[in-house]
Structure 1
């Protein structure tokens, strides 16, 4: 019952610390229309039944069909109502406060300070060439 079937498309997201919902931005994703939740896409390839090398015409037709299928499947979005986070079966975190430093805004002041410092910094061509020559002198 819980195995993935070949030739099917599945959608998934991550639950962090037991209740934070997230997705992997580095992977293909779609937006679920009812909750506006971003879901990653997992396409399970279908089983190949033929072991013979395809002819050139068959290869072109197959490539065209795959492009068409990809175009159609990328626009498909999961339909229906999604589960609420309380209904999702996921492992409970062993240390739920471990990511609290990442979620907190404690680094915000440092980023603002660094941004101001970088915005105020100005380098001219002369300063840049002086730094390069001093680096060359220190290498010798």
Structure 2
């Protein structure tokens, strides 16, 4: 029987939550070690992530829990959860379903690379769109 983890569990108290009760989270792909995305979690999201073995984040824009892949199908299976030395950043080692983590249809959210110098530099797209976002989010009606 899988007993839900209470958001006030002792292990959650070790984390240094910000003034909004959030902690930054980095999702890193196991194997390639690619950093796929950055998001936020509250206590409930982290407890739910541990309970399900899949990434659940806190959406600041929607002000609700966001189970990664609930609309796109691009679920993140969590293999490891790590806490940094300052205890204020969480790292998820994940397996990314469908190879797409970004809502733009790319493998990683970090697809823009700065090239050039301080005067003439600009951001360049370095990863292709693997799937058109309108195809991914067609049922949900948003990209």
TM-score, normalised via structure 1 length: 0.23
In proportion to residue count, which structure has more helix? 1
In proportion to residue count, which structure has more strand? 2
Where relative contact order (Cα < 8 A, 6+ residues apart) is larger, the structure is 1
TM-score, normalised via structure 2 length: 0.23
Instruction: Select the structure of larger CA radius of gyration.
Output: 1
